[in-house]
Chain A
Amino acid sequence: MITTVADPILVSSVPQSTMEVTRESYKGKIHPDWCPGCGDFSVLAAIQKALTELSLQPHQVITISGIGCSSNLPGFINTYGMHTLHGRGLAVATGMKMANHELTVIATGGDGDGFGIGGNHFLHAMRRNVDLTYIVMDNQIYGLTTGQTSPTSVMGMQTKSTPEGNLENPINPIPLAMVGGATFVARGFSGKQAHLVEVLKQAIEHKGFSFVDVFSPCVTYNLDNTYKWFKPRVKLLEDEDHDSNDFHAAMDRGYQWGDEIPVGVFWRRDDLLSLNDLEPVLSEGGPLAYRSLGLSVDQSDRLIAEMM
């Protein structure tokens, strides 16, 4: 099993197991240390259900996060996982997907991680259309640093860093993702878990960059955008005859905020190839990470000839 040679690869694909996948398969041995009532519990459960219902096998999935309360998620789900640096989850996930495109790559994090410190990677991961699913647990607050304003905190919101009220406009992640080039843009609410599971299943199955912004209330530090606040406002797009292939309708829905806040699949397009599908190096030969190393004599001869 342990290799010390140049050509260690015994299989050229991620193995498929015959063992059945159940909810248990995705249960981690550590119980999440989120605050009781945190929206992230429901997101975690929804991801586990979606993966189970899609019959994906835990060793074929990798969950990659940044830093923050929600970014602790990889420690609580039984898949391969990485808990990276603040804001960098998407960059790591992109490298992972390109190096092993047979894995199902799920990136998770919070609104500060994804839209603040990681904002640049968010934009570029979307335009690259890498085939991965990015789930943001959006609680509109910095939780792990005990309650400061976030890029999605609404104007006027009082936080520990804006004690007199937030003066800045928030980011609206839905239109941002649409113009950024994400090919699947959706929103969920941790108070509507069954709906979230359906959205996540579509996102994971989508071939390209899928983005799911999830209202995941912080019960400790955001006393404005609570379950109670969201519940009467959240409306399912699926109930409203929304055409997720209609960009302009999706934009209009994305900007809707206030008494009615839509959740569901706003926008998707399936006519573009993902970056990993476009990359000729990946067209055959299995995952890059499993290929044998070193140059052939022909290859090195060509490199030498060029120098002469």
Chain B
Amino acid sequence: MVKRKDANAENSASVDFAIAIGGAAGQGIATPGNILARIFARRGLRLNAYNAYQSIIRGGHTFLTIRASDRPIWSMGDSLDIMIPLNQDTMDRHLHVIPSGSAVIYDEAKIQPSNAPAGVQLCPLPIKELIAGNKLAANTVAVAVVLSLLGIEFDDLEDALERIFARKGDAVVASNREIAQLGYDYASANFIAFPYKVPRLSKGLAVVTGNEAAAMGALAAGMKFYAAYPMSPATGVLMYIARHARDLGVIVRQVEDELGVINMVIGAAHAGCRAMCATSGGGFALMTEAIGMSGMIETPIVCIDVQRAGPATGVPTKTEQGDLWQILGAGQGDYPRLIVAPTSHADLFNTIPELFNLTDKYQCPGLVLSDLLISEGTASVDPDELNFHPTIDRGQMIFPDGDSANPYGGYNDNSYLRYKNTESGISPRAVPGVPGHLHVAASDEHDEDGTLISDEFTNPHKRRMMVEKRARKMTTVLDAIQPPEIVGPEIAEFTLVGFGSTWGVILEAIEKLANEEGMIGNQLHIKWIVPFHADVVSRILNQAKRVIIVENNFSGQFARYLRSETGFKASGYIRKYDGEPFMPHHIVDGVKVLLEGETDLYVPTHEMVV
């Protein structure tokens, strides 16, 4: 564990602490976690929470880490300040790695501390006496103790309890408040508070998971149809949209399988809706043929792959960036599509409307590469960072606006060519129901009017024309997306390169290397996979001193992609593929080892066994 800056003054500029709650699935970890997260965010603290869990409904080991600070943070961090073990297993697993200066809060009747490291404050609680029979409130006591140790006023907890338990009635709120007060006072009397107090900042923040951010981004973009088959870790998108669908005029369908999901989405999109689905790698594998159809019939859709550790069923509740080549290879044949890997919760939100605009403009599928870390992870966001009213640009679409000279024409009289061979490759798209624009959208290769050229009318010249027409759309799309840029000092000893969700943890590792090791690095992070700003990236990397690629998979999928697009070969690689996300110190350690030059590959060990 890495040493943290000491924040001993009450009005210190910076607090940065992490709390972990561990126990068996079903022991009620989510509620205290949620209460703490909301209290911190309402005080204006930045927040990042990661839940290490397993594919089990009751039992096993779940370990939720909530980190908060008054400055921006982008990962769960490296260290724990408070641990709340709800069972003996959690105590035994993690007590030995808890650093000096931290506190461990537990029910003294149920859990025994094994051998605590020196300097760890043990906070045993007489839970049974404090809760007076209200077993459901046991975890409320632990929350109250945490707040007391952090110097957070009891009022904040009262507020939070009222909001969280309001649905359950006044009696439940009152009982929780009373028990919380007992716990808060017990802690003040018996335990030593941290030498700093958590400040209250001027602006409260929101709390959001990545799945919720993606769902909200889609709703902001005007998505009207969402379909899904439940699959971890993407199910949160379905649940959020389902909960809000009636209110917002959105149709949601849970479909029999992912083949049905994507094809239903294509049907709705072809009708003229903005339509979306989300799944994980296994479901995405089933969808790929239809994603090719979206490209072929030029019906835009958005599809999110929330990656989990694979292959096959893999580790359903663990994270990985192992689907890059799956998403690059999704669907047989050559066809234009967009692939984007958002870098944070707010970025995930704001990327979805941008992608809907691009897919409408370029009439092709838009694929989002997220992962468990970002999609199931929780973070604070300033609501002002989320654009709930983005520009909506549907590109060249034709909706009904009344009768037409020959309402049943279009195809028969050649008055409308759905796949007109235009200079831009983009052909105005009429939706079904428009008089005078009849046509067939065919997954077989077709002529400008939609006539199949796969059988009787096969023609190599037309086939070539249509392949080139679709491909031509991609010649202008690169200008529509932001090129990646170097973050940090221009002159640096090393440049760390990653893609998607690792942006924040890499940024923090670079800060740590500079602050704690005096090693100056900078960052080039890739968000847009296709199209890819190969020239910009090449220019930057060829000027860099040493380039290290950081990614959450075994074989260096991004390193291979980068090489295929730019010819650039990095000098070192940091890869992690144990199911758990990078912590900043994993990257710090990796950079130190790689810069020594003995090896070009560093694989960190995840110390916490969760």
Contact = CB atoms under 8 A, between A and B. Distances in A.
Interface of A: 1-6, 8-11, 13-15, 17-19, 21, 25, 27-30, 33, 57-60, 62, 64, 67, 72, 74-75, 78-85, 87-88, 91-100, 102-103, 120-121, 123-124, 279-282, 285, 287-295, 297, 299-300, 302-304, 307-308
Contact of B246 (A30, A72, A93, A281): A281
Contact of B264 (A1, A4, A95, A297): A95
A33 B393 CA distance: 40
A33 B455 contact: yes
Interface in B38-96: 38, 41-42
A59 B251 CA distance: 24
Given A288-B268, A308-B41, 7 more contacts: A59-B435, A85-B289, A95-B275, A99-B272, A121-B260, A280-B246, A290-B272
Contacts of B222: 6, 292-294
B266 interface: yes
25 contacts: A2-B428, A3-B394, A19-B407, A29-B411, A33-B455, A59-B407, A59-B433, A60-B433, A75-B451, A75-B452, A81-B439, A82-B270, A82-B440, A83-B442, A83-B443, A98-B225, A99-B270, A120-B260, A124-B255, A279-B251, A281-B250, A288-B251, A293-B274, A295-B220, A299-B248
Interface string B386-421: 101101111111111111101110011000000000
B315 interface: no
Contacts of B204: 308
A287 B433 contact: yes
Interface in B242-264: 244-251, 253, 255-257, 259-261, 263-264
Contacts of A19: 406-408
B440 A281 contact: no
Interface in B203-245: 204, 206-208, 212, 216, 219-222, 224-225, 227, 244-245
Contacts of B440: 74-75, 80-83
Contact of B408 (A1, A57, A93, A303): A57
Given A3-B394, A287-B433, A92 B270 contact: yes
A92 B221 CA distance: 22
Interface residues of B, number: 92
Contacts of B216: 303
B268 A289 contact: yes
B399 A84 contact: no
B399 A8 contact: yes
Contacts of A87: 259
Contact of B388 (A290, A304, A308): A304
Contact of A3 (B251, B260, B263, B399): B399
Interface of B: 38, 41-42, 204, 206-208, 212, 216, 219-222, 224-225, 227, 244-251, 253, 255-257, 259-261, 263-275, 289-290, 293, 297, 381, 383, 386, 388-389, 391-404, 406-408, 411-412, 428, 431-444, 450-452, 455-456
Nearest to B408: A58
A60 B207 CA distance: 46
A25 to B, nearest CB: 5
Contacts of A83: 440-444, 452
A59 B456 contact: no
A15 B293 CA distance: 28
Contacts of B443: 67, 83-85
Nearest to A17: B407
A15 B433 contact: yes
B206 A103 contact: no
A4 B392 CA distance: 8
Nearest to A128: B253
Contacts of A291: 224, 249
Given A28-B412, A281-B245, A307 B398 contact: no
A78 B412 contact: yes
A18 B381 CA distance: 55
A94 B402 contact: no
B271 A95 contact: yes
A199 to B, nearest CB: 25
Contacts of A300: 220, 388-389
Contacts of B395: 4
B435 A95 contact: no
A290 B397 contact: no
Given A15-B400, A287-B271, A288-B273, A80 B256 contact: no
A149 to B, nearest CB: 23
B403 A289 contact: no
A79 B273 contact: no
Shortest beta-carbon contacts, A-B, top 7: A293-B222, A95-B267, A289-B272, A99-B271, A81-B440, A307-B206, A91-B263
Nearest to A308: B206
B400 A290 contact: yes
B397 A8 contact: yes
A281 to B, nearest CB: 5
Contacts of B441: 81-83
A290 B268 CA distance: 11
B403 A17 contact: yes
Nearest to A69: B455
Contact of A99 (B273, B444, B451): B273
Contacts of B248: 295, 299
Most buried by B among A5, A59, A75, A308: A59
Nearest to B261: A91
B40 to A, nearest CB: 12
Contact of A294 (B220, B257, B268): B220
A84 B256 contact: no
A288 B434 CA distance: 15
Given A94-B264, A99-B225, A304-B206, A78 B411 contact: yes
B456 A33 contact: yes
A87 B412 CA distance: 28
B403 A84 contact: no
Contact of A2 (B398, B406, B450): B398
A254 B85 CA distance: 63
A69 to B, nearest CB: 10
Nearest to B224: A288
Given A29-B412, A281-B246, A288-B224, A98 B253 contact: yes
A15 B273 CA distance: 18
A295 B389 contact: yes
Contacts of A123: 256
Contacts of B265: 95
Contact of B392 (A91, A281, A293, A299): A293
Nearest to A293: B222
A91 B224 contact: no
B278 to A, nearest CB: 16
Contacts of B439: 80-81
Contacts of A33: 455-456
B411 A28 contact: yes
Contacts of A294: 220-222, 389, 392
A281 B249 contact: yes
A102 B259 contact: no
A77 to B, nearest CB: 9
B403 A88 contact: no
Contacts of A62: 432
A120 B401 CA distance: 38
